[in-house]
Structure 1
Amino acid sequence: MKLNARNLVLILLGNFLLAVAVGYFILPNNILSGGVAGIAVALHSFVQIPTDWIVNGLVIGLFFVGWIFLGKDFAIKTVLSSFVYPIFLTLISQFNIPLTIDPLLASFYGGIIGGVGIGLVIRTGASTGGMDVPPLIAHKYTNISIAKLILITDFFTVLLGLLAYDLEAVLIGIISVFTTSFAIDKVLLMGGQESKSVQIISEQYSIISARIHEKLERGTTITDAVGGYTNNAKKIILVVVSQNQYPQLIDLINEIDSKAFIITTDTTDVHGEGFSYGYRV
């Protein structure tokens, strides 16, 4: 990873926001959030160790686990986060601003702020360390989406709280998990252009393709296919259009062949002329 000035600023800002979320909202209100903060809150009832010490220990320990399983590149990308975040959290704990806030609001805002911080770090290609490590290891061996794995890991982290807290605390914690996931998605997709990937099967493929070039000024790809039931040769048109062009595309197709078979997929990561560069985990 090339750690340029922009990436350095994003990593520092992201870790600071995460520390703010944990230090001001999650730990003071004993919110069973995801990540190492949620584990610290759950374990605090069993081991009388300050929660910020537990968080710092988990972050550093999981960094070395990631180094072992994910290699040197991971270590280089994550070392800054793994050591800067505990420093930020310790400073915030020392200069804490007392906030009297409803636990529901603390869970919501802690999740949003923390999610924004994590998203900023991931946009640079780095990791915040901590409980990001197990999902990254699982992704390496399963190829399941990292975002889904983080959500699953955080969900089970919150359920761990049932050992020490009641169901209400767990339900409040789930708010933090889902708001964190929502904020991460929004930050990662920020600057990307949502588009539609469309496959069209029609006997009038040549006319439809030409009209797409002419009316929508989008390129197309035509591939050969064989019907699985009829064994008849077919042509498939592949085209990617922006969200606002999609209704025009459907109207255009229907004007030429109302019986055309259309398959549409949402996409936010389109690289090439006419589209923005997005980022998807």
Structure 2
Amino acid sequence: MGKLLKDITFITIGSLLYALALTFLVIPNNLADGGLAGASVILHYAFGWSPGIVNFTLASIVLLIGYRVLPKRNILLTVLTAPLISFFIYITESSVEPLGDPLVSAIFAGFFSGVGTGLIFRTGSSMGGTSVIARMLHHNLDWDLTRTNFTLDACVVLSGLFIIGPLNTMYTIILLFIGKKSTDVVMEGLDSRKAVSVISARAPEITDVVMQQMNTSATVFKGYGGYLKEEADMSYIIISKYQLLKLKRIINSVDDKAFVVIHDVRDVFGGSFSWSKKS
């Protein structure tokens, strides 16, 4: 029950942030957006139709198509999210004075809409538009959710090129880029992780020093060098990006000839890494 209440709170806040970014920053400054909301805005410019009503209509059609292939929980949450976004757009879509600087409007619209989208995605819901299509592709083909959604949004924006003009279209692409980065931050956090692979004859010793000095764990694998045809140990270590410099110093102090590969890690949970973070 507590998890459901938290999800509903995130969805409500996220929907409100997204809708306000649209009605206070996007529409008054003749910008566009991606997804069905962006299509609704373009139709608003072209025919004067209410973006809130159009968004609700289009989202309902997409949900009717996508409900068979998406997880039941995702559909239930999206049934809540899509009407909320449409409702918040509808009650705030009356004329608002433009800021006078479309670029600044695009930057802040991207930030607020990205934060709202991230809050919605964190619950497992979607926004009832191209995000439903992105969710279907992610669920069935394991395509990256955020990048797929960004590509679909870009296609929607480019379709409005002759309505809002090339300059505002470029501003809108900036909006989408900032929105994607904001969504990534909300979903993954600011404290990104690094996976470090250390190939060294002294890998067990490096592992022991890392465990003692950095309060984290490491795993040692047995390997075989394809070039030298010799056995080689490899340490695999997960750390936060802020610990990377200290780890490099430790590795160099134990074996300055070690071969080190550093990878970005999208998410880490469970195991001794999570334990060490809490302790």
After TM superposition, the score normalised by the length of structure 2 is: 0.88
What secondary structure does 1:222 align onto?
Answer: strand
- Please give the per-residue CA displacement for 1:159-201, whole angstroms capped at 9, x wherever unaligned: 11124343112112112111211221222233x6323211110
* Equivalence for 1:274: 276
What secondary structure does 1:68 align onto?
Answer: coil
Please, which runs of 5 or more residues in structure 1 have no aligned partner?
277-281
In structure 2, the CA distance between the partners of 1:155 and 1:222, relative to structure 1 (3 Å rule), is: same
Q: Does structure 2 retain, via aligned residues, the 8 Å contact 1:34–1:176?
A: no
- Please give the per-residue CA displacement for 1:114-164, whole angstroms capped at 9, x wherever unaligned: 111111111222222222112112222332211111111112221111243
- Please give the per-residue CA displacement for 1:85-141, whole angstroms capped at 9, x wherever unaligned: 222222223xx3622312223322222211111111112222222221121122223
Q: In 1, Cα distance between the equivalents of 2:225 and 2:125?
A: 45
Deviation larger for 112-121 or 99-108: 99-108
* Equivalence for 2:250: 252
What secondary structure does 1:125 align onto?
Answer: coil
Equivalence map 1:1-281=2 (5 Å): 4-44=4-44, 47=47, 49-93=49-93, 96=94, 98-102=96-100, 103-190=102-189, 193-271=191-269, 272-275=274-277
Deviation larger for 71-80 or 201-210: 71-80
* Equivalence for 1:279: none
Name the count of aligned residue pairs.
273
Shift of 1:45: 5.7
Q: In 1, Cα distance between the equivalents of 2:37 and 2:155?
A: 13
In structure 2, the CA distance between the partners of 1:217 and 1:64, relative to structure 1 (3 Å rule), is: same
Q: Does structure 2 retain, via aligned residues, the 8 Å contact 1:107–1:173?
A: yes
Q: In 2, Cα distance between the equivalents of 1:29 and 1:62?
A: 28
Shift of 1:259: 1.0
Q: In 2, Cα distance between the equivalents of 1:73 and 1:13?
A: 19
Shift of 1:30: 3.0
Shift of 1:237: 0.6
Q: Does structure 1 retain, via aligned residues, the 8 Å contact 2:252–2:258?
A: yes
Amino acid aligned to 1:131? T
In structure 2, the CA distance between the partners of 1:268 and 1:139, relative to structure 1 (3 Å rule), is: closer
Q: In 2, Cα distance between the equivalents of 1:242 and 1:176?
A: 29
- Please give the per-residue CA displacement for 1:63-87, whole angstroms capped at 9, x wherever unaligned: 2222133243321121110222222
How large is the Cα RMSD of the aligned pairs? 2.3
In structure 2, the CA distance between the partners of 1:251 and 1:71, relative to structure 1 (3 Å rule), is: closer
Shift of 1:202: 0.4
